[in-house]
Structure 1
Amino acid sequence: MTENGSCCTPEGSSGVDVRAGEVTTTYRVTGMTCGHCEGAVRSEISEIAGVSSVQAAADTGVVTVTSKAPLDDEAVRAAVDEAGYELAGRA
């Protein structure tokens, strides 16, 4: 188990956690500075087919996406770009 109690996300993992038929992926997004930024990123990523929830934190630049299946990173990159920010990769 990892420090946070999860057996599914060891250090150095790809930023993907699969549980109960859902996939949770964490990304790093640069340029977010406030709640408005978080909302713009959440809104655009939420439009990707299969996405069930999006959490964004401007203070850390971490965006956590839960979906029914693994997402295409290029689709996420395009959504983040549309919001006006840059996808730095998986966290």
Structure 2
Amino acid sequence: MEVTVYILRCRDGSYYTGLTKQNIEARVWEHNARIYDGYTAKRLPVELVFTETYDRIIDAIARERQITGWSRRKKEALIALNYEALPGLSKRGPVSAK
């Protein structure tokens, strides 16, 4: 079973992170059609800006939780696929070697 972790950019510029087992285009359509009442319902339309696919749902859940806790700048680095910048954008700052 494939599970997709995704990030949506909302009309107000905020980001929403979610996961789905269904086709990602169908899930984005559900957000924009207001099928569910939640964070995105008052911030439509939304635009898909990032996806990652996992084979195990437990891995997708862990990744969704990780991304949800990130700062806006760190999410934007991920969206831009700037993986090298991610460690320096953690809330506590980069870890220094001792």
Same fold per superposition (TM over 0.5): no
* Higher fraction of strand: 1
Largest Rg, 1 or 2? 2
| TM superposition score category, shorter chain reference | 0.3 to 0.5
For normalisation by structure 1, the TM-score amounts to 0.36
* Higher fraction of helix: 2
For normalisation by structure 2, the TM-score amounts to 0.34
